[in-house]
């Protein structure tokens, strides 16, 4: 083999091996990027699970703040305990950090955050109005957590509470 052919074979071999090495390096880099993306995805799933757990725990504490306005209390107690419930809401939002996890917009009363501020800022002596505001918050919490009630069950519960509170209002007016 003459020198020119030998140089051509060496150059072609070097080019071939260079292309193979470049392909291998490129594959390793792409695969490393894919693995990194998979790790990020798994971490985000884990973080989402942690965030959901934290939200459930926070909402359980928020639920406890609503006890003073429970319909198990007589309507006059609902009115007198409104400031206590509102202070509990304020503490939950700021001191316990619940405001970091509550979903929605302040301006939309159908969201948990909007219903929260509606209940927290309510100024009323009407037990039905108070109950409605706090029911809206309870409903929004359940929706945000994906805990849905049967519409008929909820409607029946609403009607029963309304009748009870309206009868109290009629008695108080007499």
The pTM for the full model equals: 0.62
User: Could you give the CA distance from residue 92 to residue 29 in angstroms, rounded to a whole number?
Assistant: 48
- Tell me which residue range forms the domain holding 84: 52-173
85 falls within a domain = yes
133 falls within a domain = yes
23 falls within a domain = no
159 falls within a domain = yes
Element (H, E) at 89: helix 82-94
Return the sign of the alpha-carbon dihedral for residues 116, 104, 63, 95.
negative
DSSP category for residue 72: T
22 falls within a domain = no
Kindly give the confidence (pLDDT) of every residue in the chain, 174 residues in length, as a single tens digit, with 9 standing for 90 and above: 688 887 777 777 777 877 777 787 887 777 777 777 766 665 565 557 788 888 889 999 999 999 998 888 888 899 999 999 999 999 999 999 999 889 888 999 889 999 999 999 999 999 889 999 999 999 999 888 888 666 666 677 667 767 777 776 676 666
Element (H, E) at 122: none
Residue partners of 124: CB distance under 8 A and separation at least 6: 79, 82, 130, 133
43 falls within a domain = no
Structural domain count, the chain: 1
142 falls within a domain = yes
C-alpha distances in Å from residue 40, one per residue of 25, 30, 31, 54:
22, 15, 14, 20
57 falls within a domain = yes
C-alpha distances in Å from residue 96, one per residue of 54, 55, 82, 129, 135:
12, 12, 20, 27, 22
């Amino acid at each position: 083999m003459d020198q020119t052919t030998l140089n051509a074979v060496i150059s072609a071999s070097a080019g071939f091996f260079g292309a193979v090495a470049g392909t291998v390096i490129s594959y390793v880099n792409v695969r490393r990027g894919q693995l990194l993306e998979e790790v990020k995805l798994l971490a985000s799933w884990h973080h989402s699970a942690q965030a959901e757990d934290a939200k459930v725990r926070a909402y359980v504490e928020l639920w406890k703040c609503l006890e003073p306005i429970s319909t198990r209390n007589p309507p006059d107690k609902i009115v007198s305990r409104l400031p206590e419930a509102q202070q509990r809401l304020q503490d939950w939002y700021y001191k316990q950090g619940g405001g970091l996890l509550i979903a929605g917009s302040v301006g939309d009363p159908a969201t948990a955050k909007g219903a929260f501020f509606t209940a927290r800022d309510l100024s009323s002596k009407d037990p039905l109005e108070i109950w409605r505001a706090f029911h809206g918050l309870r409903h929004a919490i359940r929706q945000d957590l994906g805990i849905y009630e049967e519409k008929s069950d909820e409607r029946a519960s609403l009607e029963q509470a309304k009748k009870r509170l309206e009868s109290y209002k009629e008695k108080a007016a007499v």
